[in-house]
């Protein structure tokens, strides 16, 4: 896999930073683990599960589409 961040990872980080919250805070709001958020943002999990994306998108107030485009 390339070192380039996945689109989902880049968008997740952008929306999270726009909200001014940490990965840890987002993980609590999204009811997922900090490790999951960190791995998606870093690109080591470039294709997270749909249910995980739904939780994260909901916590960020965006659609799954917003995270994927």
- Domains belonging to the chain, first-starting first, are 7-68 (1.10.260.40)
Provide the pLDDT for residue 55.
97
Residues 6+ positions from 65 with CB-CB distance below 8 Å: none
Q: Split the chain (69 residues) into runs of 10 and give each run's mean pLDDT.
A: 70 97 98 97 92 97 94
């Amino acid at each position: 896999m390339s070192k380039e961040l996945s689109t989902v990872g880049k968008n997740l980080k952008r929306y999270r930073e726009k909200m001014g919250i940490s990965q840890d805070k987002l993980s609590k709001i999204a009811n997922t683990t900090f490790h999951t958020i960190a791995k998606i943002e870093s690109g080591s999990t470039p294709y997270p599960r749909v249910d995980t994306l739904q939780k994260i998108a909901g916590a960020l107030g965006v659609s799954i589409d917003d995270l994927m485009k």
